[in-house]
């Protein structure tokens, strides 16, 4: 099902608002997710410069060079100064199975408006997983999947899904008794209220919504839902949205990748374990060696390099 584009056509005119070229290229472009879902960028506010502008407002200095902007954004993300990232916003239109929506909505730091099954008739679209993602229950994770099942058995499972979806929708249509215009299909039967009739539909039926949040909370959402421990279906939506965010806020996204998404944080017990393991071994490095290694990885920011030295010193790795 393609997203409906119920928008008023306005004449083209120049705008005084901030424009992100990376966001502009994704506006209104649906990206298919799962078998019948989609997600696309509806609107946005701000860009990387808006993040820097908010951070520098305390002493009245706006955007300077790109390098200085990048350095500040990375500092903010590295030290968890999150409020400047709330100055950027993104609004998506997404269509997903109800089971995915119930996980998604747990992220309460967003504004959303969902398709109403009390007001409208639910479309006859339900999610059927492909054979390769049908797995057994994990033995070490109560809410996760384990090994994939045999392809032959996967076909049997898919058949159950399909038959259940078809039967459920037939029951739903019987209850609402609506020809799509509000008139009964069978005048001899009552039209059960839509808010009651919808209860026969399983959670694999599709719903959709408009979902708007700021960049900080979007990062939090993506950090959790792109993780390998997240359910496979919602990861597909998170991975898709990540591509859009990367283009819309490239400097902020890179900082998020480096310091959160792909970072490894050490707790105090883990730091002590690491220090105990290297104690007495020839693993101490000079500051010059660390600086050289940092440069070879592309790390050139003086402030960040100094923080690397401080961390190595804290762990006892510097001569």
The CATH number for 16-126+205-263, chosen from 3.20.20.70, 1.10.260.40, 3.30.1360.170, 3.40.640.10, is 3.30.1360.170
Domain spans of the chain, in order of start: 16-126+205-263, 128-203, 266-319
Give the pLDDT score at 3.
Answer: 60
Q: Report the candidate in 17, 18, 81, 41 with the shortest Cα–Cα distance to residue 252.
A: 81
Place of tokens 């056509």: 9
Per residue in 201-220, pLDDT (tens digit) is: 999 999 999 999 999 999 99
Q: Exposed e or buried b for every residue in 191-225, given b needs 16+ CB within 10 A?
A: bbebeebbebbbebbbbbbebbbbbbbbbbbbbeb
Per residue in 301-315, pLDDT (tens digit) is: 888 888 888 887 777
State the Cα–Cα distance between residues 226 and 234, nearest whole angstrom.
8
Per residue in 270-296, pLDDT (tens digit) is: 888 877 777 766 667 788 888 788 888
Catalytic residue among 77, 95, 194, 225: 225
Stronger pLDDT, 139 or 93, i.e. the higher one: 93
Q: Show the tokens assigned to 174.
A: 């019987």
**Burial class of residue 285 in the structure, from the number of CB atoms within 10 Å of its CB (0-12 exposed, 13-18 middle, 19+ buried):** middle
Let me know if 78 is a catalytic residue.
no
Task: List the binding residues.
Answer: 83, 103-108, 114-118, 198, 214-216, 220, 225
* Integer-rounded Cα radius of gyration of the chain: 25
Per residue in 242-270, pLDDT (tens digit) is: 999 999 999 999 999 999 999 888 888 88
Work out the pLDDT band at 223, boundaries 50, 70, 90: very high
Per residue in 113-158, pLDDT (tens digit) is: 999 999 999 999 999 999 999 999 988 877 788 899 999 999 999 9
The three-state (H, E, C) secondary structure of the chain, written as one string: CCCCCCCCCCCCCCCCCCCCHHHHCCECCCEEECCCEEEEEEEEECCHHHHHHHHHHHHCCCCCCHHHHHHHHHHHHHCCCCHHHHHCEEEEEEEEEHHHHHHHCCCCCCEEEECCCCCCCCCCCECCCCHHHCEEECCCCCCCEEEECCHHHHHHHHHHHHHHHHHHHHHHHHHHCCCCCCCCCCCCCCCCCHHHHHHHCCCCEEEEEEEEEEHHHHHHHHHHHCCCCCCHHHHHHHHHHHHHHHHHCHHHHHHHHHHHHCCCCCCHHHHHHHHHHHCCCCCCECHHHHHHHHHHCCCCCHHHHHHHHHHHHHCCCEC
Mean residue pLDDT across the chain = 89
Task: List the binding residues for FAD.
Answer: 83, 106-108, 114, 214-216, 220
C-alpha pair distances (Å), 176 with each of 169, 184, 187: 11, 8, 12
Q: What is the pTM of this model?
A: 0.87
Per residue in 16-75, pLDDT (tens digit) is: 888 999 999 999 999 999 999 999 999 999 999 999 999 987 545 555 678 889 999 999
Partners of residue 212 on adjacent β-strands: 91, 111
Check pLDDT > 60 for residue 200. yes
Check pLDDT > 60 for residue 5. no
Percentage of residues of the chain with pLDDT beyond 70: 92
Give the pLDDT score at 37.
Answer: 98
């Amino acid at each position: 099902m393609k997203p409906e584009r119920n928008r008023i056509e306005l004449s083209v005119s120049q705008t005084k608002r901030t424009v992100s070229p990376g966001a502009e290229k994704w506006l209104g472009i649906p990206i298919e997710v799962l078998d019948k879902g989609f997600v696309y960028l509806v609107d946005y506010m701000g860009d990387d410069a808006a993040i820097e502008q908010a951070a520098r407002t305390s002493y009245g200095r706006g955007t300077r060079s790109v390098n200085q902007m990048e350095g500040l954004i990375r500092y903010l993300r590295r030290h968890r100064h999150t409020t400047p990232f709330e100055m950027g916003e993104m609004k998506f239109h997404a269509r997903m199975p109800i089971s995915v929506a119930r996980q998604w909505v747990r992220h309460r730091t967003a504004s959303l408006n969902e398709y109403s099954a009390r007001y409208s008739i639910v479309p006859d679209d339900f999610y059927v997983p492909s054979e390769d993602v049908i797995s057994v229950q994990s033995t070490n994770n109560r809410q996760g999947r384990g090994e994939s099942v045999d392809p032959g058995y996967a076909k049997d499972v898919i058949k159950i899904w399909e038959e259940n979806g078809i039967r459920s929708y037939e029951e739903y249509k019987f209850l609402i008794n609506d020809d799509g215009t509000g008139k009964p299909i069978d005048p001899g039967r009552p039209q059960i209220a839509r808010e009651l009739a919808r209860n026969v539909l399983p959670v694999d039926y599709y719903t959709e919504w408009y979902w708007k949040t700021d960049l900080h909370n979007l990062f939090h959402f993506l950090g959790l839902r792109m993780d390998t421990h997240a359910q496979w279906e919602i990861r597909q939506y998170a991975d898709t949205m990540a591509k859009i965010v990367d283009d819309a806020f490239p400097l902020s996204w890179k900082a998020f990748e480096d310091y959160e998404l792909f970072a490894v944080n050490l707790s105090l017990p883990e730091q002590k374990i690491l220090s105990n393991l290297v104690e007495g071994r020839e693993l101490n490095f000079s500051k010059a060696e660390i600086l050289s290694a940092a440069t070879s990885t592309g790390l050139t920011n003086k402030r960040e390099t100094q923080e690397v030295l401080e961390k190595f010193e804290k762990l006892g790795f510097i001569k």
